[in-house]
Chains A and B, each alone.
Chain A
Amino acid sequence: MELLVASAIGLLFAAGTYLLLRGRTFPVVIGLTLLAYGVNALIFAMGRLHTDRPPVLSLELESYADPLPQALVLTAIVIAFGMTAFVVVLILRSFLEVGSDHVDGSEPHDPATPHHYPDGSARPADRPEGVGIGGGRS
């Protein structure tokens, strides 16, 4: 069982990390969600894996399942849920205002295939040359 759970957590983290590094905001959010699932399972597994054990400590019991990780996971789930809701709204708002769902706020420039921004211009109006360090390139 340990190997199975450990591999599943590893898979979730691998997929989450891959998606987190994608260029569009939607895969990034999915990646964050997968990472949150992975970490929830990890916290749970850190209380050791048991079956058929009561989750309370009592003097009569010889062994029990640690209840604390379950409480921690509950907190972590609530926080991750709230954060995901917030980040979804944020990227939607960002997409509507910036006009691109690329994480850098503008499409990566490819000289071979000219493209247009939603407002039809070659570069977004709100992005003047030299916005800052490394910001002059669009």
Chain B
Amino acid sequence: MSHWLIVPVVLPALVAGVIVLALRFDKLLQRIASIASTTACLAVGIGLLVQAAQGSVDVYELGDWPAPFGIVFVLDRLSALMVVLTSALALLVLLYAIDGWDQRGRHFHALFQFQLMGLNGAFLTGDLFNLFVWFEVLLLASYGLMLHGSGAERLKAGTHYVIVNLTGSTLFLVGVAFIYGVTGTLNMADLAVKIPQVPPADQAVLKTGGIILLLVFGIKAALVPLHFWLPATYSATSPPVAALFAIMTKVGGYAIIRVYTLAFGADAGDAAWLAGPWLLPLALLTIVIGMVGALAARSLRWLVAFAVLGSMGNLLVAVAVFAERAMAGALYYLLHSTLIAAALFLLAELVAERRGRDGDSLTLQPLPAQSDLMSGLFFLAAIAMSGLPPLSGFIGKLLILDGVRDSGAAGPIWATILVTSLLLIVAFARAGSLIFWKGRVVGATRESEELAGRSYPALPIVVVAALIASTALLTAFAGPVTTYLDAATDQLFRPTAYIATVLGTEEPAAAPTLAASPEGSPPEIVP
């Protein structure tokens, strides 16, 4: 049992405490501590990823209580990947925020570290009730971050965000209570063993619990009709926080993938693949609402927020068919959409800053300062987001379309994804041409000349460029990445090694058998 597994949770927690107590008045030390902690999390995460890529499942028993009596952290390919993605995104967002956003309110860095702790905890835990606790940790930190910098618009959106999520937390407990009532356990691996044994008389309670949990994860993942909090929250909060929140919707997606493949998977008897029939139509609706909303948006940030909603729909559609190839596509799309959503939220702020008073509203204004650079970045980011070749959005959508081919619902899914992609392209093309092209017609005003004469810090631009470059890397290394994701999917759909390792029913020697899976997917992957 290696103790590295707990580091991504403990380290941010300790650093957050130190920042609050000792470094409260020193902004330089705060920034150094925050960046050092996030970098260390990323390094440990990459170490864990390399370890998980061998195909073994690692278990960390907190307090040395064996599962299912104690809480366990479990490392498999998917959780390692999510930890790395979280830390990488957090590091880039932090670099953007230290340009000044972190000083617009108090305790930004402490909240940021607590947020990181909550996210990593949620990705690593192997216990359903512990997942609830991590949800609360990350939500409480996110409430603070969301309101960072304050302002009436932000408080209004923040109130909605908090109330919606508190209701979600209550429902989470209801779902957990129902499932505990009929199975007597909350360890996810133990649930996978116990759920098939649930007698027919208790099936209704079990399924109700399962569907209520889907409702909760749907709120987090902004599944229509539970999405109303998302566009307002993402467009009202400060840009670095919105960029970090790109991973928050993915927590909901991750929870759906984890719970409904492990506990309600193929072996769950009567409750097998419980989520699919509910998730698929709602996910299709999410795509439509997201992309139509993007088309109707009146400011760049609303456009991006609705594009994020649509991308969650794409992701959840691929999850909802619960087929291996589609799931691998969903995971690839998850990586892509997190990075590009963060890039677009930050870019929207850079453009707004260079347009002056009217910010990012989609109205006819003089060209923004540095318009060549901004339009170049916007062009690339829009290509990636809307899924045009050659960037990773195209590959992601291609993998999803290919994965759902045998699912029986391929027709509606293909039609929805392809048509809504066109809508998003139109929305981005319209926004881009209005801001960077038609602005020429207006000519320069005194304000725009003054803005053009100003010098702008380079670091935020570098961060946005790095985020866009990461999607290019995701494209260039799509081969190794998808090989890893195929192996991760294989672990999800054949959880015997996971269950055996967590419950200690078999010697860890069982793990290598997974590597020799029928698909013959190579176990050694270096992404």
Chain A residues in the interface with B (C-beta under 8 A): 20, 25, 28, 32, 35-36, 39, 42-43, 46-47, 66, 68-69, 72, 75-76, 79-80, 82-83, 86-87, 90-91, 93-94, 97-98, 103-105, 124, 126, 130-133
Residue pairs across A and B with Cβ atoms less than 8 A apart, 25 shown, are A20-B163, A28-B163, A32-B166, A46-B177, A46-B181, A68-B180, A69-B180, A72-B129, A75-B133, A76-B173, A83-B140, A83-B169, A86-B140, A90-B159, A93-B155, A94-B159, A97-B155, A98-B155, A103-B159, A126-B152, A130-B298, A132-B232, A132-B235, A132-B302, A133-B231
Given contacts A79-B133, A82-B140, A90-B143, contact A32 B173 (CB under 8 A): no
Contact B140 A91 (CB under 8 A): no
B→A interface (CB under 8 Å): 129, 133, 136, 140, 143, 147, 150-153, 155-156, 158-160, 162-163, 166-167, 169-170, 173-174, 176-178, 180-181, 184, 231-232, 235, 293, 296-299, 302
Which residue of the partner chain, among B156, B176, B298, contacts A94 with CB atoms under 8 Å? B156
Instruction: List the count of A-B residue pairs having beta carbons below 8 Å apart.
Output: 99
Q: Given the known inter-chain contacts A98-B156, A132-B232, A132-B235, please indicate yes or no for A42 contacting B167, CB distance below 8 A.
A: no
B293 to A, closest residue via Cβ = A133
Given A39-B173, A133-B296, A87–B158 Cβ distance below 8 Å?
no
Residues of A within 8 A of B152 (CB): 97-98, 105, 124, 126
**Interfacial chain A residues near B143, Cβ < 8 Å:** 86, 90
CA distance A66 to B181 in the complex (A): 11
B156 touching A105, Cβ below 8 Å? yes
Bound together, the chains give a CA A80 to CA B150 distance in angstroms of 24
B482 CB, nearest partner CB in chain A, Å? 36
List the 9 shortest-distance A-B pairs measured between CB atoms, nearest first.
A46-B181, A105-B156, A94-B155, A43-B177, A46-B177, A39-B173, A126-B152, A35-B170, A98-B152
With contacts A82-B140, A130-B298, A132-B299 taken as known, whether A90 is within 8 angstroms of B170 at the C-beta atoms is no
A133 to B294 Cα, complex, angstroms? 10
Asked if A91 contacts B159 (CB within 8 A), the reply is yes
- Chain B residues in 8 Å Cβ range of A90: 143, 147, 155, 158-159, 162
Report whether B169 and A43 are in contact in the complex, using a CB–CB cutoff of 8 Å.
Answer: no
A25 & B298 in contact (Cβ 8 Å cutoff) = no
Interface-centre pick from B177, B231, B298 (highest chain A CB count, 10 A): B177
A72 to B170 Cα, complex, angstroms: 13
> How far is it, in angstroms, between the C-alpha of A69 and the C-alpha of B163 when the chains are bound?
25
Q: B215 → chain A, closest Cβ, in Å? A: 14
